[in-house]
Amino acid sequence: MPLDFQEVRRQIQELTEGIPERQEQLRNLRDDAALLLNKYATDLDYLRDKVQRAANLDRYFRSAIPTDEALTDTFPTPALPAEATIIAADGSQINPDRHLGIDYCLVNVGAIIMTLGQSAAPTTTIETTLYYDERVFSMQEKIVALIRDTREREVLAELAAEIAGTVITFTDGPVELWGREVSMAAEEEREEENYFERYMTALGILHARGTITAGYVDKPRSDLVVRMLELAPNDKPVENAGKNRWLAGILDTELYGRLLGPGERSPIYGLLSRSSQKYENQFSLHFFYLNVSLREDKPMLARVEIPAWVAQNKQMLNQLHAILVQQCQIVPTRQYPYLLTRADETAVVSRSEKEQVDNMIAQELYRLGENVPEKSQKQQSKEVARQKPFRRKGI
């Protein structure tokens, strides 16, 4: 049965009636946040103290932490390094689905390597892992995502270890391993801890090799700096800081979109979160905002996450900054790192490929004389309902 578009239209009209008033409120809040950014731009110790006290009272409090760069500092694009090898990795997966009969999941990781200044075409590598045992019975999508993210960083570490000279690696998404903020059952927590240990081992390999590594977040919706600014005024107590969201609705990109010119980055911030204590010393999490747009009138900001060994090394930081801007200008119509686009194309699992894997498993079960589990009645009903009507020619 199709949507009731008349009812949808009525609800849209109700929802949009209050938009002008809400937009005016947001403009005022945006101006308030910008004033705070300027007022406390150099009060770094004061801000660090308030953020830390808030975190001590609320372990779930998530915020930016100032480093040694003023909040309003901007940094132009540095010169490209004379030589560097760039590696990007991305992953995709087939999640387990109890309605499809065959219990399995699959993780596919693609990586692409390019050497700066060489005309040779980038080289690609791909790794496909099928999970088809008792583990799948209790495996949830969030665990599959953890496996994917861990393997992305492990593949980068394995490839970087074989290359001499400067190596810059990045993935789509944060360096902070997905899932640390998600509520999990005890069994899932054990599984998560196992993959977190593997993930940190991969980061350790990248660090020991001197690799510049990062996570690239396109069109971020984060408000980490805004959460810090909410604590800045003297009359704003640190108690219940995570709930007293008086600047809610304002994003960091709205603040730095006003400040950053094409190719410029924001100051470096530390990242405070429930899981950040797991990333200690050289692994502590940091980030900055980067304007990858070519136009003065249309900023396009990304959030770039980096570990401490990159954040605290100006040469590494400048090389990463320059490479990311260069990567985002290779395709003029798409301000997104070229190698990440290529890695995604390598890793993505299409619907037809998934169906082919289903058929391959079914054929192998038939060969072994095993019964192929039937799809659930719900799944069969959905597939029948969504089939297009068939008409014979001339009827």
pLDDT digits (tens, 9 = 90+) for 174-195: 999 865 455 556 666 777 888 9
Q: Find the distance separating the first CA and the last CA of the chain, reported in whole Å.
A: 24
In the chain, the percentage of residues whose pLDDT exceeds 70 is 88
Nearest to 232 by CA among 49, 30, 27: 49
Average pLDDT over residues 327-333: 91
For residue 366, what pLDDT is reported? 79
- The predicted structure's pLDDT at residue 382: 54
- In terms of pLDDT, which residue wins out, 23 or 390? 23
- Name the phi and psi angles at 10, rounded to 5: -65, -40
Q: Work out the average pLDDT over 201-224.
A: 97
Tokens 């927590």 correspond to what residue?
A: 189
Tokens of 42: 């150099």
The CA distance from 174 to 275, in Å, is 13
Q: Which two tokens stand for residue 212?
A: 């510049």
Q: How does pLDDT run across 367-381, given as a tens digit for each residue?
A: 888 777 666 555 555
pLDDT at 395 over 50: no
**DSSP code of residue 134:** G
Between CA 117 and CA 83 the distance in angstroms is 7
Which DSSP letter does residue 373 get?
A: P
Using an 8 Å Cβ cutoff, are 288 and 304 in contact? yes
Q: Which residues contact 110 (CB under 8 A, 6 or more apart)?
A: 89, 90, 91, 124, 125, 126, 127, 343, 344, 345, 346, 347, 348
Give yes or no for residue 391 having a pLDDT over 60. Answer: no
R_g over Cα of the chain: 24
Task: State which amino acid sits at residue 331.
Answer: V
What is the pLDDT at residue 18? 80
Please write the tens of the pLDDT for every residue from 131-156: 876 666 556 788 888 999 999 999 99
**29 pLDDT exceeds 60?**
yes
The correct answer on CATH 3.30.420 for the domain covering 85-351 is yes
> In degrees rounded to 5, what are phi and psi of residue 112?
-135, 140
Would you state the torsion angle of the CA atoms of residues 226, 227, 230, 234, taken in this order, to the nearest 10 degrees?
-120
Q: What's the average model confidence in pLDDT over 92-109? A: 82
**What are the residue boundaries of the structural domains of the chain, listed by start?**
85-351
Token pair of 292, please?
């990858």
Per residue in 291-307, pLDDT tens?
999 889 999 999 999 99
Q: Rounded mean pLDDT of 251-260? A: 97
Average pLDDT over residues 332-359: 92
Which tokens sit at 100? 């499809």
**What six digits make up the tokens of 380?**
């069969």
Q: What is the mean pLDDT of residues 185-206?
A: 86
Q: State the pLDDT at residue 186.
A: 64
Angle between helices 141-160 and 186-209 (to 10 degrees): 20
Q: How far is CA 258 from CA 34, 60, 261, 274, in A?
A: 9, 30, 8, 30
Q: What is the pLDDT of residue 180?
A: 46
Q: Nearest CA to 127 among 104, 144, 148?
A: 148
DSSP H/E element including 141: helix 141-160
Residue 120 has pLDDT above 60, yes or no: yes
pLDDT at 242: 81
